Amino acid sequence: MKDPYKIWLSEIILQQTRVEQGWAYYEKFIKAFPTIKHLAKATDEKVFKLWEGLGYYSRCKNLLATARIIVKDYNGIFPSEYEKIKDLKGIGPYTAAAIASFAFNKPYAVVDGNVQRIIARYFGISTPVDTSAGKKLFDQLAQALLDIDNPAIYNQAIMDFGATICKPQNPLCSICVQRNECEALKLDQVKALPVKEKAIIKKERWFYYYLFVLNKQVYVKKRTAKDIWQNLHEFVLEEADKAHETGVAQSVYFKKLLGKQAFTVIASSKIYRQQLSHQHINGQFIVISLKKPLIGLKDYLLIENKKIKRLAFPGLINQYLQSTPEFLSF
């Protein structure tokens, strides 16, 4: 039996993440938390800091929650039953099947994009993979094709086949061992399959971050709302519906926040951008020197500039901090 903790950890890290990037994070996590008990005992702050840069931070939140549930309810031993695995936070049918088959050799088909693509092309299926009917059809076919005596080997083989031969772009049909039976190849539909129905409409958001500096300290808070970047830190934020056409200091939010208090604008950054799965985030950073504390800032704390690097920030803010290291010397 393979270690279910390591399989689970790798699957969670590699969701929405390229293998080349995710592998380095996996190694860092295993070094910091060699067992699920080590992960469960870790502070949220330490885990989120280690996760920094991977994005989709709900994965990290669920990772911690599940580790603590397994330690509390299962005495630190990963459950082996598919349904119990699937009931854990952040684990859906795909990840549950991967853990059940790879760690415990249970007969559950792992259905990822590679598997869907192979099935769609081999059988010539035009039902969209991202619909309820499509998902049900592809899951049923994948399970029917599974080698129930060797589920782990089969699952790994078919995913590898999709990644190396039946690729999304430029598949190697000329050397494919299934070429004579492939319906998509017969009908010249390889490029058209699989079909996806839903187009992602990306929302545009504008974030203006005010880095209010007072005696080498800056106002910071943790994002707690159910929105992007939950549990990560940020500076004083004004979100706007569109780009500011006039100077940032002319916005209603800024004037209300500062009132008649004296301030000095030290620097104003270029526009930084971060692309998420369903959103485009545009951000600008304005460093402002104060002579006395701000009144009415809820949930913000004054943090020493030199301690900023210890906190976990979203990628957009890290882009700014990494490109302007001089900020930490204010």
Catalytically annotated residue among 11, 52, 234, 238: 11
Distances (CA, A) of 129 to 86, 113, 224, 253: 21, 9, 34, 45
**Single-letter residue type at 294:** L
Give yes or no: 11 in active site: yes
Q: HSE, CB side, 13 Å, CA atoms: give it for residue 243.
A: 10
Using CA atoms, how far apart are residues 276 and 75, in angstroms rounded to an integer?
Answer: 37
Residue 236: burial class (beta carbons within 10 Å; 0-12, 13-18, 19+): buried
Q: Which of 116, 79, 76 is nearest to 94 (CA)?
A: 116
Using CA atoms, how far apart are residues 321 and 325, in angstroms rounded to an integer?
Answer: 6
Would you please indicate which residues are annotated as catalytic (active-site) residues?
11
